[in-house]
Every structure is written in C-alpha cells, then in structure tokens.
C-alpha cells in the first residue's frame, strides 16, 4: 500500500469503507468536472466517436455485455 494511503489512514479502512470513499471522491470530481475545459484534441476525439456512433449505433456493446465479458475473465 502506498505511503499516502498509510499517511491518511486509508489503509486502516475496510474494503467496503474504501469503496465508499472512492465513490465519494468520484462524486466530488464529477461535481466539478464541468469546470474542466476539454483540449482541442479531446473535442475532436469526441466528435469522431459521436460521428462513428451516429453512423452505426449498434456497433458497440451494451454495459451488460461488457460486464459479463469482464466477469467471465476472472
């Protein structure tokens, strides 16, 4: 475990408590995400991906399919 986790006492938390902490941290990031401007490269990548989706919306996989594939690997 990293020194930062030890210094903050996170290493003393249970797995469930650490998961809740990660969720809270993620929620705090999402709340401020709109304040983070995208680079031009990121904007172009998003436009490219959106265009590919609009051309063939059935090309990808559903979250359920992706999750099932990932779980099958473990």
Which structural domain, as residue segments, surrounds residue 44?
37-74
Using alpha carbons only, give the angle 23, 60, 63 rounded to the nearest 5 degrees. 30
Predicted TM-score of the model (pTM): 0.48
One domain, residues 4 and 30: yes
One domain, residues 49 and 26: no
Helix, strand, coil % (nearest 5) of the chain? 75, 0, 25
One domain, residues 47 and 57: yes
16-60 pLDDT, tens digit each: 999 999 999 999 998 888 888 899 999 999 999 999 999 999 998
One domain, residues 22 and 54: no
One domain, residues 73 and 59: yes
The number of domains in the chain is: 2
One domain, residues 46 and 67: yes
- Strand, coil or helix: 18: helix
């Amino acid at each position: 475990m990293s020194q930062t986790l030890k210094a903050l006492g996170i290493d003393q938390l249970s797995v469930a408590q650490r998961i809740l902490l990660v969720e809270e941290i993620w929620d705090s990031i999402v709340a401020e995400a709109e304040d983070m401007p995208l680079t031009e490269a990121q904007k172009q990548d998003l436009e490219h991906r959106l265009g590919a989706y609009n051309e063939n919306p059935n090309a990808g996989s559903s979250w359920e399919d992706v999750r099932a594939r990932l779980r099958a690997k473990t």
